[in-house]
Structure 1
Amino acid sequence: MLNALFGRKTVMPAAAEALPGRAEPIATAEEHFVFHRPLKSPVPEGMEEAMFGMGCFWGAERRFWQIERVWLTMVGYSGGYTPNPTYQETCTGMTGHNEVVRVIHDPRVVSYEALLRAFWEGHDPTQGYRQGNDVGTQYRSGIYTFSEAQAAAARASREIYAERLRAAGHGEITTEIRPAGPFYFAEDYHQQYLAKNPGGYCGLGGTGVTCPIGLTA
């Protein structure tokens, strides 16, 4: 059945069409491979969370853990319907989920604007349901916000970056910006994949156009 669904990879399913998933979370890593902190740590007091989809989550996560003094990163599935999906289910396009990276940071040290800059510059946000050679709804560009302040900053940054992209001859931004829904952890082997496999695949590539926000963070 799953193989028969691959033709729908570039069409978002309706909620009634989505795979049923499961009640229990799938197994994942206990510890962050790079930071050696518990992967399921609650957000510490004074810190905030952010969430982004920008293509294959292997390269997206590395982009954020490499930002100095980011506290924790993790990859998973969000933005769709299926509870506790597996990677195989998400790859069918029938969960509605995006591959996302969740970032925990201290905004006094690493601003949300600095994360937005890394997001915009780290991928091509004009490609719709794909990123490079990776094709499917799970590779769409997305910013999933946890507050109205984040939403306002994300919308403002999109307007600024859209102007820069148009001036450089690129197409229109396709990035979705919406409130964050449930985050479902991806399997153990996906967490910090490119730290465990330094020569592993990363299909992310930016446009080469700089984003003029977060420059002083």
Structure 2
Amino acid sequence: MTWFDQLLGHRKKELISADKALAGRSEAVPVADRHVVNGHPISGPFDPRYSAVILAGGCFWGVEEIFWQVPGVYSTAVGYAGGFTPNPSYDEVCSARTGHTESVLVVFDPAVIDLEGILTIFWETHDPTQGMRQGNDVGTQYRSAIYTFDDADAAVARASAERFAGVVHAAGIGEVTTEVKPLAQAGSGRFYYAEDYHQQYLAKNPHGYRCHSATGLKYPA
């Protein structure tokens, strides 16, 4: 790694402030209406019997693939959240100048799997102790985060984070750095859909890139 790469990597690990973020655009990027795997809609409004949460745990291709296979998950979509730039492009997010992290919208049926069940999978399939990176993927776009759609779910998510933090602490591998808050309090307060080629990417490209740096620890029963 050259000194330039080291410098760039350092800068990509620093969260940008709202006043320095890229301006973005007013128009949303076009995406397909339906999920490639299950045929369900990937954008709302969804049936009120379903719940939703936004999860960030590294490269969103692999995170989405994990969750579309979970019984009770109705739909998934990849996008950007937690930052300031409206309707960013993937290249803009990669520049670390939007504040967004690669995120996955998970829409699920709480009669089949509840939020804590969703979060159990989340904690066990990535490493929430790595700060602004996940494995070899370095930058603010790879930070771990949970964004909820109401305060009640945020409370569940915070309690879940505290429980897993206890497991992490006992294992002596660091501290949980996951950002947990209602989406309305995260950056611009929006989830922006990623470009269509990113949606269900690993269904379209089954030999594509997967990055999971799981700790190997189990969420406490």
TM-score computed with the length of structure 2 as normaliser: 0.91
- Inter-CA distance 6–171: structure 2 relative to 1 (3 Å threshold): closer
> 1:50 aligns to what?
53
How many corresponding residue pairs? 210
Deviation readout 1:77-121 (Å, 9 max, x if unpaired): 010000000000000000000100001111111100111101101
Q: Which residue of 1 aligns with 2:191?
A: 183
How far apart are the structure 1 equivalents of 2:152 and 2:12?
33
Matched to 2:211, the amino acid is G
What is the CA-CA distance between 1:167 and the residue it aligns to? 1.6
Measured in 2, the distance between the counterparts of 1:100 and 1:169 equals 28
Residue 8 of structure 1 deviates from its aligned partner by 2.7
- Of the three residues 120, 123, 127, the one matched with 1:124 is 127
Does the 8 Å CA contact 1:8/1:94 hold for their aligned counterparts?
no
Give structure 1 regions of 4+ aligned residues with deviation exceeding 6 angstroms: 4-7
User: How many Å separate the matches in 2 of 1:5 and 1:132?
Assistant: 17
1:209 aligns with 2:217: yes
Separation (CA, whole Å) in 2 of partners of 1:61 and 1:211: 20
1:71 alignment partner, SS class: strand
TM-score (norm: length of structure 1): 0.92
- 1:7 is displaced (CA, Å) by 6.2
Amino acid at match of 1:64: F
| Contact 1:5 1:93 (C-alpha < 8 Å) held by counterparts | no
Whole-Å separation in 1 of the counterparts to 2:148 and 2:48: 18
Calculate percent identity across the aligned residue pairs. Answer: 53
Report the alpha carbon displacement of residue 71 of structure 1 after superposing the two structures with TM: 0.3
The residue type equivalent to 2:206 in the other structure is: P
Query: Counterparts of 2:72 and 2:17 in 1: how far apart (Å)?
Result: 39
Residues 170 and 5 of structure 1, relative CA distance in 2, 3 Å threshold: closer
Q: Deviations over 1:143-184 (max 9, x none)?
A: 101122211111111111111112222101100111112110
Residue in structure 2 matched with residue 71 of structure 1 by the alignment: 74
Structure 2 distance, partners of 1:63, 1:169, is: 27
Give the match for residue 4 of structure 2: none
Alignment partner, residue 162 of structure 1: 165
- Match of 1:65, as an amino acid? W
Aligned to 1:199: 207
**Structure 1 position 44, deviation (Å):** 0.6
> Which residue does 2:63 correspond to in 1?
60
Residue 110 (1) aligns with residue 118 (2): no
Counterpart of 1:202 in structure 2: which amino acid? R
Q: Aligned partners of 1:57, 1:155: CA distance in 2, in Å?
A: 22
Deviation at 1:199, TM superposition (A): 1.0
- Does residue 16 in structure 1 map to residue 24 in structure 2? no
2:146 aligned counterpart, secondary structure: strand
Give the Cα–Cα distance (whole angstroms) in 1 for the partners of residues 210 and 69 of structure 2.
15
Q: 1:137 to 1:115 in 2, by over 3 A?
A: same
